[in-house]
Amino acid sequence: QVQLEQSGAEVKKPGASVKVSCKASGYRFANYDINWVRQATGQGLEWMGWMDPNRGKTGYGQMFQGRLTLTTNASISTAYMELNSLRSEDTAVYYCVRGLRFLIGGDDAFHVWGQGTVVTISS
Amino acid sequence: QSALTQPPSVSGSPGQSVTISCIGTSSDVGHYNRVCWYRQPPGTAPKLIIFEVNNRPSGVPDRFSGSKSGNTAYLTISGLQTDDEADYYCASYAGDINFVVFGGGTRVTVL
């Protein structure tokens, strides 16, 4: 079945960087967008950015411009989210999500979700 | 503060219907027919239940329906069941720069 398996929990100090991986299985990786969405404890969802693995195109939310880098390694069907200059407000669960529609670059329907990665920023 | 406005909570009895509103602007909900709804039971990842205003992905029961009028989108849950208790989030495409904006979420309680 279609699955996204994310890397484990991270604890980082303010100012550091974190890189979360998201390994896809059960479908052809290049055919669907990967988005990243985060959720602070008890809070709502916040879209961060997206990547089209087929064309290598990316889009970043304005709040994350300059701090967020999305990449993929198609040979191992894995997407990566790297966030720099971490601050306490970045403490959240980070989700990778596969788009719903086949070969639609910029798919805004988030269909298959990873299990989430808890990132804690603490000095 | 979220870009889209949802009521913090709604409630209903088993078998009843509840409707959740999602108020946006002419730059998102009002401009595009690309509203999605997500269901998130406690401690789990969200699940897509409606896309493009009123379409259901495969496997989502037809008790869930979506609609839109002007800058406001709606999710209706008919025949409310106890396992419908969850947080529900709306989202809308908002153009190439903002891409997707979310509502703050609505907690549905089954009395």
The dihedrals phi and psi of B82, each to the nearest 5 degrees, come to: -60, -35
More confident residue, B98 or A99: A99
Query: Which of B9, B34, B100, B102 is the best substitution to test chain A (most A C-beta atoms within 10 A)?
Result: B100
Q: How confident is the model at residue B96 (pLDDT cuts 50, 70, 90)?
A: confident
Q: Measured between beta carbons, which residues in chain B are less than 8 angstroms from residue A44?
A: 2, 89, 102-105
Q: What is the pLDDT of residues B44-81, one digit of tens each?
A: 999 999 999 999 999 999 999 999 999 999 999 999 99
Query: DSSP letters along chain B, please?
Result: --SBB--SEEEE-TT--EEEEEE--TTTTTT-S-EEEEEE-TTS--EEEEBTTTB--TT--TTEEEEEETTEEEEEE-S--GGG-EEEEEEEE-HHHH-EEEB--EEEEE-
Give pLDDT, residue B98. Answer: 80
- For residue A95, give the 3-state DSSP assignment: strand
Q: What is the pLDDT of residues B30-47, one digit of tens each?
A: 999 999 999 999 999 999
Going residue by residue through chain A, which has 123 residues, state the pLDDT in tens, using 9 for 90 and above: 999 999 999 999 999 999 999 999 999 999 999 999 999 999 999 999 999 988 889 999 999 989 999 999 999 999 999 999 999 999 999 999 999 988 787 889 999 999 999 999 999
B46 touches chain A (CB under 8 A): yes
Q: Measured between beta carbons, which residues in chain A are less than 8 angstroms from residue B91?
A: 45, 47, 108, 110
